[in-house]
A and B are shown apart, each in its own frame.
Chain A
Amino acid sequence: MTRPRLGLALTALLVAAAYYAGANIGLILRFPPLTPSVLWPPNSILTATLLLVPVRRWWIYLLAALPAHLLATAQAEWPLPLVLALFVTNCCEALLGATCVRQWSDEPARVDSLRRVLIFIAGAGLLAPFLSSFLDAGVVSGLGPEPYWVVWRTRCFSNMLTELTVAPAIVAGATAGWSWVRRAPIGRIVEAMVLALVLIGVAAAAFSRSADGLRPIPELPHVPVALFLPLILWAAVRFGPTGGTWSTLATTLILTWAATHGRGPFVDLRLSESVLAMQVYLIVSVVPVMCLAGLIEERRRAERALADRLRFEEFIARLSSSFVHLPSDRMDEAFDAWLERLGAFLALDRVLLLRMLDDGGGLRVARSWDAPGLGPMPRINVSDEYPWTVALLRREQPMILERLDEVPPGATRDRDSLRRHGVRSKLVLPLLAGNRVLGGLAFVTVHAERAWPEQEVLSLPLVAEVFASALARKESEDALRASEVMKSAILSSLHSGVAVLDRDGRIVAVNQAWTLGPADGEHYVDDCRQAARRGEPGAVELLMGIEMVLGGHRPSFALEYLAGVAAGERWLAVTVVALDRAEGGAVVSRTDVTERKRAEIEAQRSRQELAHLTRVSAMGELTASLAHELNQPLTGILTNAQAARRFLDLAPPALQEVREILADIVEDDKRASEVIQRLRDLLRKGDFEMTPLDVNGLIRDVVKLLGSDALIRDVAVELDLHEPSAVARGDRVQLQQVLLNLALNAMEAMVEVAREERRLVVRTRMTDGQTVRISVEDAGPGLRTGTHDLVFEPFFTTKPSGMGMGLAIARSIIDAHGGAISAENNPRHGATFHFTLPLAVETAA
């Protein structure tokens, strides 16, 4: 806090010194005994000070001026009341002028536009001296012998002249002077020096006198004054209000000096009148010169603003056009290039592109540009170090900071981070896509503070918009590319050949595994059509299926067929799925399933082998009953034949008896061969053959086969069959085997049961219109708890001599038929085994 106070004290001292110097000049340029000076700079020095410093500090500078005033006026040997009264009037003038200008002007410390110049001239230049001179004249004439109007007139004009020349010169010098000198190109500085030299030269030429009294320029009253006018105009036009006011001040000083020393213009007049004329002349000429300078400056500024704006708009146009067709993979490069251009264009030290992280948590520096000579941006977590800034961005608001002390008191973390990174000014704009904050664009200065003029704050969001839309596009293109990369990776990883067909059946894309048949760009459906014409297996079905899918008649189609290719016969599984899109088409995927097919065939073969084996072993169990089954007709035949022999031995032979006997023998023979045939059927090792089967007939055949066994075991067999009989597709022998197996198990289960309880029921029921259910019910002890599913496992058996394969085979047979087998205990006693078979809805075409 000592620094600002020290600064204040120094400025106050400077003002006091200036006041003292100005008062001394004023005291020199007097016509004693008249008190007013012909040129009195202190008042205008005070006016300029009050315009430049804040109002609340005015009192400091006025107080600082008082000792200077007392010191300066001591030499004049004025009475103290006069001295103090004069200080009061001087202060009044400065206060009045400064107040008026501050009241009316938007920028009181500037005289760089016509309006500001006019306000300055009216308030500080004319009104304040005019009014304060009444007071001054009153004081001076009241305390001394000087006539009121003479005093008023002298003071009024002299003060108007200084207010119009000294005050603006100081103000312009203070606001623009030093920075102008620092920034101006060397040519301008040379020009300013030439101008100053010419001015001095002209002054020397106008007011020097040779020894013989001859002057280089005629001594007509207006000529020397007129000589300065082009120089003042030159300064005003080329160097604006600063140049205009300083050159006018210089001219005023020269002319006043000349006038007071009898060298200047108007020398033929009385001295004081000559000075007065000079003052009026200068006042009259300085007003238009200042107006002209203000006008020119205003114009120049407008032109500059327009040029800046055009330059900026061109910048934006180039920026946005460069992103329009840029592929997303080159965007980072472009971001870097444009961050650099932005930094150079706006004279920044650092430009950052910040990205909001996907999880919504943080913000990170995605790309950055640092001015040459500046160390690279340290890696930081923006959210941790700048919570206030991030919060502003989240609310879609910009963060505008011209000086560090503009950081709100609460945002201590932001302030600390800014200070640590040496940031002097910063502007962060949110990057918005729709209602999503993608990140921010940060403009940073490190070397100096930087103002963010309204025009920039209004137009830089355009830059942010371009960046935001580019980012959003990059984001979506990246996502799209990622998904395409994934899709093609998935496609090429597939073992199945995949081809995409257009609406006409032409291949528009294939994956790597698509090696057989027509290639990309060829006509797949035509190829199928030709194959169908050549009679290749599966081709007709494939062609019809694809045409159905392409025609929109069905969503998908699948087929397995044996194709003859170069490598021999291969099983191919083809799936055709319609593409769900406006332009139609389909995806064909083709898999070589030869291995699977072979395995299936192999499995089927071994299942058949096993089924046959178990059938043979079941036959073993049936031997006794089969012997009985055959014994009946054989007994009939033998007995009949022997009876016939006896009838033939009779005399006469009983031929009628013999005839009847022979008929019975034929019948018995047929009966016996039927048994043999059934046996042979069951023992046959036939191929798996699916045919439509009459389910009830199938059951009756099996019961016939079992009849003798049931008889021997004293089991009553009941049939409860649904009429009309269901027709299922299946392999007759294998299904007979299943039934036989279930029935034998059922009878076996009832060995320990009382004879009159031994009941075996075979039932058929239609379940849901698609399957028929066949149940085999016994009256045995039932299944042990927990074994309902186990009974179908291979080698699970409860019989001491059982192999445990019967039900496992039964299940594999039913599975192969697309049915299901299950077991449950009956409510009263015994168990029931059910199996289902799909109905043969399609009749053999």
Chain B
Amino acid sequence: MSDPAGAVLVVDDDASVRRALERLLRSAGYRVQTFASAQDLLGRGQFDDVACVVLDVRMPGQGGLDLYEVLVRSGCDLSVVFISGHGDIPMAVRAMKAGAVDFLPKPFEDEALLEAVERAVGRDRQRRDADASEPADPIR
């Protein structure tokens, strides 16, 4: 079981996929919040309590990659697992270069997703530990 304090956010425009992911992550003991679009996510305001984000690449309006880049540029260092129904190698490369934990093409095995989320949460915890020993950079 992972640290119950860190929440896992799920952003996907497809309601059914969203609900399924929420259930899977919940069954693995994660606290889960779901969002239907990038806008909804940004509406959340702050991400301090967020351990990991499961982000769909293709969404109407702002896609997952764009959203991630916006978040990174704003200094919000989140551990992200991309999922995509229409993935290709350049897109995956772009995501990984941007600092993503993993890039999973839909559909995916539950173990693969949970393992990726676990790694993301682990990375988040390491980052938080490092942050605690060093003075935190001011958030831009």
Chain A interface residues toward B at CB < 8 A: 624-625, 627-628, 631-640, 642-644, 646-647, 650, 654, 657, 661, 664, 667-668, 671, 708, 711-712, 714
Contacts and interface: CB of A to CB of B under 8 A. Distances in A.
Nearest to A671: B16
A714 B57 CA distance: 12
Contact of B16 (A636, A642, A646, A712): A636
A632 B19 CA distance: 12
Contacts of B45: none
A672 to B, nearest CB: 11
A664 B19 contact: yes
Contact of A642 (B26, B60, B109): B109
A635 B110 contact: no
Interface string B1-28: 0000000000000101101110110111
B138 interface: no
Interface of B: 14, 16-17, 19-21, 23-24, 26-28, 58, 60, 63, 83, 85-86, 106-110, 113
B26 to A, nearest CB: 8
B105 to A, nearest CB: 8
B20 A639 contact: yes
B106 A647 contact: no
Contacts of A657: 23, 27
A633 B16 contact: yes
B24 A636 contact: no
A639 B86 contact: no
B14 A628 contact: no
Given A628-B86, A635-B85, A643-B27, A667 B16 contact: yes
A639 B86 CA distance: 17
Given A634-B107, A635-B85, A712-B86, A628 B17 contact: no
A647 B27 CA distance: 6
B110 A646 contact: yes
Contacts of A635: 14, 17, 20, 83, 85, 106-108
Given A633-B16, A635-B106, A646-B110, A628 B58 contact: yes
Contacts of A636: 14, 16-17, 19-20
B106 A643 contact: no
A661 B19 CA distance: 9
Contact of A640 (B23, B26, B86, B113): B23
A631 to B, nearest CB: 4
B12 to A, nearest CB: 9
Contacts of B14: 632, 635-636
A644 B20 CA distance: 9
A671 B110 CA distance: 22
Nearest to B59: A711
A667 B17 CA distance: 12
A266 to B, nearest CB: 166
A638 B85 contact: no
A664 B21 CA distance: 12
A708 B13 CA distance: 12
A647 B23 contact: yes
A712 B20 contact: no
A664 B16 contact: yes
Nearest to B61: A716
A631 B104 CA distance: 13
Nearest to B18: A636
B85 A628 contact: yes
B27 A646 contact: yes
Contact of B24 (A639, A650, A667): A639
Contacts of B27: 643, 646-647, 650, 654, 657
A643 B16 contact: no
Contact of A643 (B85, B108, B110): B110
A637 to B, nearest CB: 8
Contacts of A668: 16
Contacts of A634: 106-107
Contacts of A667: 16
21 contacts: A627-B86, A628-B58, A628-B85, A631-B86, A632-B16, A632-B85, A633-B16, A635-B14, A635-B20, A635-B83, A635-B85, A635-B106, A635-B107, A637-B107, A639-B17, A639-B24, A640-B20, A643-B26, A643-B27, A657-B23, A657-B27
A642 B63 CA distance: 27
A634 B23 CA distance: 16
Contact of B28 (A637, A646, A664, A712): A646
A412 to B, nearest CB: 108
B107 A638 contact: yes
Interface centre among B14, B16, B26 (most CB of A within 10 A): B16
Contacts of A643: 20, 23-24, 26-27, 110
Which of B24, B109, B110 has the most C-beta atoms of chain A within 10 angstroms of its own C-beta?
B24
Given A628-B85, A631-B85, A661 B17 contact: no
B88 to A, nearest CB: 9
B11 to A, nearest CB: 14
Contacts of B109: 642
B104 to A, nearest CB: 10
A711 B23 contact: no
A638 B83 CA distance: 14
A631 B20 CA distance: 14
A625 B27 CA distance: 31
Given A628-B58, A635-B106, A664-B19, A642 B24 contact: yes
B107 A631 contact: yes
Given A632-B17, A647-B23, A639 B85 contact: no
The 10 A-B residue pairs with the shortest CB-CB distance in the complex, in nearest-first order: A642-B110, A639-B20, A636-B16, A631-B85, A646-B27, A643-B23, A635-B106, A643-B24, A640-B20, A635-B107
